[in-house]
Homo-oligomer: A and B are copies of this chain.
């Protein structure tokens, strides 16, 4: 037995994983080969992905359906399946494409400035492509742009000389923070995900709450904050504020570790 399927590690990567997985990796990394035989393709993969981003930008991510993207391109819905395996995969390609616009920091800068630039670039990305907040429910696409940025973030954080486990955590912390601010701002700014109502309309529709169940006795702190006007936030500042606190904390950790394990080179 076991003579047909050897248990030795397979050395040919083109047989690793599943056909679907390999197909998706190829779509992300290789320009799709124009394929000799049949009729010419009316579109390119890039056009399809761009049309998806156009639909998401114009009508919101909830309207990103195969039928809508196809209509945007003037083709039948099922035609898209020759370019893309399915809706989820199209979204994956859109995510990687969104990351393509990320600038990388000058490597000669101090680590903190590099990390700050990465955070601001992430913030800019979420503002440009608000539908990216949905990507949190997806696994990270293994696309070239996502991976290159990710690598550069880890490189920048490594400059702190922190041990690798802490590097991973700090990188995740910065990412989470920007994402968190983006999420709250986008949810409050753009249209509601399902119904098409704005934030103002939402609060207005539920305004009866403030006259019936909300009492300053039950919610004294919120009342005070509200009256101070501090709930009216400016989003950009929130990113910077959190980032500053967070990196202050990281610097403190670096100092503390330096004291307990002094560098032999110093």
Question: In the complex, are the beta carbons of B17 and A165 less than 8 A apart?
Answer: no
Mark contacts of A123-145 with chain B using CB atoms, 8 A cut-off: 1 yes-contact digit, 0 otherwise.
00000000001101111001010
Asked if A166 and B88 sit within 8 Å, CB to CB, the answer is: no
Cα–Cα distance between A173 and B233 once the two chains are bound (Å): 13
A208 lies within 8 A of B169 (CB): no
Binary per-residue interface labels of chain A (154-185) against chain B in the complex, 1 for a CB within 8 Å, 0 otherwise: 11001000011111111011011101110110
Contact A205 B136 (CB under 8 A): no
Evaluate contact between A176 and B187: CB separation under 8 angstroms. Answer: no
Q: Is A180 touching B184 in the complex (CB atoms < 8 A)? A: no
Bound CA span A253–B175, Å? 22
CB neighbours (8 Å) of A144 from chain B are 213
| CB proximity of A191 to chain B, nearest CB, Å | 11
Report the Cα distance A84→B258, complex, angstroms.
58
Check if A106 is an interface residue, CB within 8 A of chain B.
no
A148 shortest CB reach to chain B, Å: 8
A181–B207 alpha-carbon span in the complex (Å): 33
Given A221-B154, A222-B154: A138 and B230 interface contact (C-beta under 8 Å) = no
Asked whether any CB of chain B lies closer than 8 Å to the CB of A225, the reply is yes
Q: Is the CB of A16 within 8 A of B208?
A: yes
Instruction: Report A's interface with B, CB cutoff 8 A.
Output: 13-18, 20-22, 24-25, 29, 88, 133-134, 136-139, 142, 144, 147-148, 150-151, 154-155, 158, 163-170, 172-173, 175-177, 179-181, 183-184, 187-188, 192-195, 199, 202, 204-214, 218-222, 224-225, 228, 230-231, 233, 238, 241-242, 244-250, 252-253
The list of the 9 closest CB pairs from A to B, nearest first, reads A13-B211, A176-B180, A245-B249, A21-B205, A164-B230, A249-B249, A248-B249, A16-B208, A21-B206
